[in-house]
């Protein structure tokens, strides 16, 4: 008489990590298993092949899907995944960038008003259309200063 022993079905779930906006949909996750026999709990693990956010934009509670989940470890052959895909949610927070400007030189006129000559951004993601506009500038003093030699 021949007896077949089938692999025990287990379910993978993921916990998605929050991230700062980076212009991509890439996500990172940790994987856990439900249904593993307690004596094997240290001998079987899961890993997601890839994980992605539903879109790349800033937001809270965004859907993350992990695909290509696989089992590993010395007891992995005793188990079969019920699905190789799992979902979770995570947040994408805004990327902080820095704006700067230069002001035009001027002839003394008794006030501190300044004219913005150029504006620049540092830290924006390449390919994203971001611009710095508006704002006003003033000199710290209305006095005419000369460099000392």
Token readout for 12 is: 């993978």
Domain extent, residue 111, equals 98-138
Nearest-angstrom CA–CA distance, 53 and 17: 10
pLDDT tens, the chain, 149 aa long: 888 889 999 999 999 999 999 999 999 999 999 999 999 999 999 999 999 999 999 999 999 999 999 999 999 999 999 999 999 999 999 999 999 999 898 888 888 898 999 999 999 999 999 999 888 888 888 776 665 55
Pair 86, 134 in one domain:
no
Phi, psi (rounded to 5 degrees) for 38: -55, -35
Which of 75, 77, 51, 73 lies closest to 63, judged by CA? 51
Tell which phi-psi region holds residue 134, choosing left (phi > 0), alpha (psi between -120 and 50) or beta. left
Residue 3 lies in a domain: no
Q: What pTM value is reported for the model?
A: 0.81
Q: What is the pLDDT of residue 146?
A: 60
With 0-12 / 13-18 / 19 or more C-beta atoms within 10 angstroms meaning exposed / middle / buried, residue 51 is buried
Residue 143 lies in a domain: no
Question: Could you tell me the maximum CA-CA distance found in the chain, to the nearest angstrom?
Answer: 105
Residue 69 lies in a domain: yes
Q: What is the pLDDT of residue 141?
A: 83
Residue 34 lies in a domain: yes
Token readout for 31 is: 């994987």
Pair 102, 69 in one domain:
no
Structural domains counted in the chain: 2
């Amino acid at each position: 008489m021949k007896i077949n022993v089938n692999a025990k079905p287990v379910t993978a779930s993921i916990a998605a990590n929050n991230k700062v906006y980076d212009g991509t949909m890439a996500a990172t996750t940790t994987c856990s298993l439900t249904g593993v026999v307690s004596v094997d709990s240290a001998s079987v693990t899961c890993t997601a092949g890839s994980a992605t956010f539903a879109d790349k934009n800033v937001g809270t509670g965004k859907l993350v899907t992990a695909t290509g989940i696989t089992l590993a470890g010395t007891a992995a052959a005793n188990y079969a995944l019920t699905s190789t895909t799992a979902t979770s949610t995570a947040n994408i927070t805004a990327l902080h960038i820095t704006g700067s400007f230069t002001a035009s030189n001027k002839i003394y006129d008794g006030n501190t008003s300044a004219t913005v000559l150029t504006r620049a951004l540092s830290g924006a993601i390449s390919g994203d259309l971001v611009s710095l506009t508006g704002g006003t500038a003033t000199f710290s003093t209305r006095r005419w200063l000369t460099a000392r030699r």
